[in-house]
Amino acid sequence: MEKGRIRKGIGGFYYVETDQGILECRARGIFRNKSQKPYVGDMVSVTRNEDGSGNIEEILPRTSLLLRPPVANATQAIAVFSWIDPKLNATLLHRMLLAGEQKGLRMVVCFNKSELMKDADRRMVTDWFKNTGYPILFTSVAEETNLDLLVEELKGHISLLAGPSGVGKSSLIEKIARGGHRVEIGELSEKIGRGKHTTRHVELFRLEGDGYLADTPGFGNLALDEDMDVQELETLFPEFDDYREQCRFKGCLHINEPDCAVKDAIGGGISRERYQFYKTIHEEINNGIRR
């Protein structure tokens, strides 16, 4: 059997990238019997039929699975926001980064439409995320600024773009993916008489540098899991890593405890913006609020 990666799925058909090109496949009924479902991003084993179509015989082990958006084996998310047009929703950005940490994704912060930002704005957001390890990019599709830096961050990853409507996610995808593999899949669909499948479904674009970018139409946010507790929350802020072991009490939650190294670092190695957000989520969890 051949192995390949599902690049697109629609109407019961799955387009699998193999060493021989894109193969249109159906999933065996055995998956329905096992309550299993192939997802875009899955590595699968396939067999070929005489008519040039194929069958998915096995879903290979996954490293991750997101259900919103439905992507398997994603390794990172790019949180795309703008400073204005639309105006930055900082709380949404912080929540998205927190959700990415919870799901084990590498997170990148991308401020698109950067031509509308002042130098002081850039310094402010860079300061927010000091010591987090998150790459901070300032891109502009209109001026084609720093798109090469974004491409570098995508190499070797299965990435998805998340962010509110209007920040330019689709424009970034068009610039980076350049439509090459959309044509590849579309031509195959047209040849077998099913049109180009232009409805809104997740699709992976192949990028240079052994990477994939997920086009996830209509998707804007990574949601936090509802079962998170305050002990887990404390571990999802990477800027706390250099300080938590220095706290006086093991298991310190950095709220009311004395001799807390995390609180002592606020305004220095930890930004006030991020710590205030931490306190907000901590309070929400204690009060049973889920958003």
Mean pLDDT score, 171-193:
58
User: Is 9 labelled a binding residue?
Assistant: no
Is 94 known as a binding-site position? no
Q: Does 217 belong to an annotated binding site?
A: no
164 is in an annotated binding site: yes
| pLDDT of 45 over the 80 cut | yes
CATH number 1.10.40.50 is the correct assignment for the domain at 230-286: yes
The string of pLDDT tens digits covering residues 190-210 is: 444 443 434 468 999 999 878
167 in a labelled binding site: yes
> Tokens 């019961």 sit at which residue?
12
DSSP state of 52: S
Q: Is 171 annotated as a binding residue?
A: yes
Task: Encode 171-192: b = buried (16+ Cβ within 10 Å), e = exposed.
Answer: ebbeebbeeebbebbbebbeee
Homologous superfamily assigned to 2-61: Nucleic acid-binding proteins (2.40.50.140)
Given a cut of 70, is residue 221 above it in pLDDT?
yes
Q: What is the pLDDT of residues 125-164, one digit of tens each?
A: 999 999 999 999 999 999 999 999 999 999 999 999 999 9
User: Binding site annotation covers 110?
Assistant: no
For residues 256 and 136, what is the distance between their CA atoms, to the nearest angstrom? 31
Q: Is 21 annotated as a binding residue?
A: no
Is the pLDDT at 289 greater than 80? The verdict is no
DSSP alpha helix (H) spans, 103-213: 119-128, 147-154, 169-177, 180-191
Q: Is 77 exposed, middle or buried, given 0-12, 13-18 or 19+ CB atoms closer than 10 A?
A: buried
Return the domain boundaries, the chain: 2-61, 67-215, 230-286
Q: What is the pTM of this model?
A: 0.88
Percent of the chain with pLDDT over 70: 91
- The burial class, CB within 10 Å (0-12 / 13-18 / 19+), for 119 is exposed
Give the bridge partners for 167, in sequence order: none
Provide the pLDDT for residue 186.
Answer: 47
- 67-215 adopts what CATH topology? Rossmann fold (3.40.50)
Instruction: Say whether pLDDT at 184 is over 50.
Output: no
Q: Is 114 annotated as a binding residue?
A: no
DSSP 8-state symbol, 145: B
Given a contact cutoff of 8 angstroms between Cβ atoms, the answer to whether 96 and 103 are in contact is no
Q: Which residue, among 203, 223, 228, 198, has the nearest Cα to 213 in the 3D structure?
A: 203
The whole-number pLDDT of residue 89 equals: 96
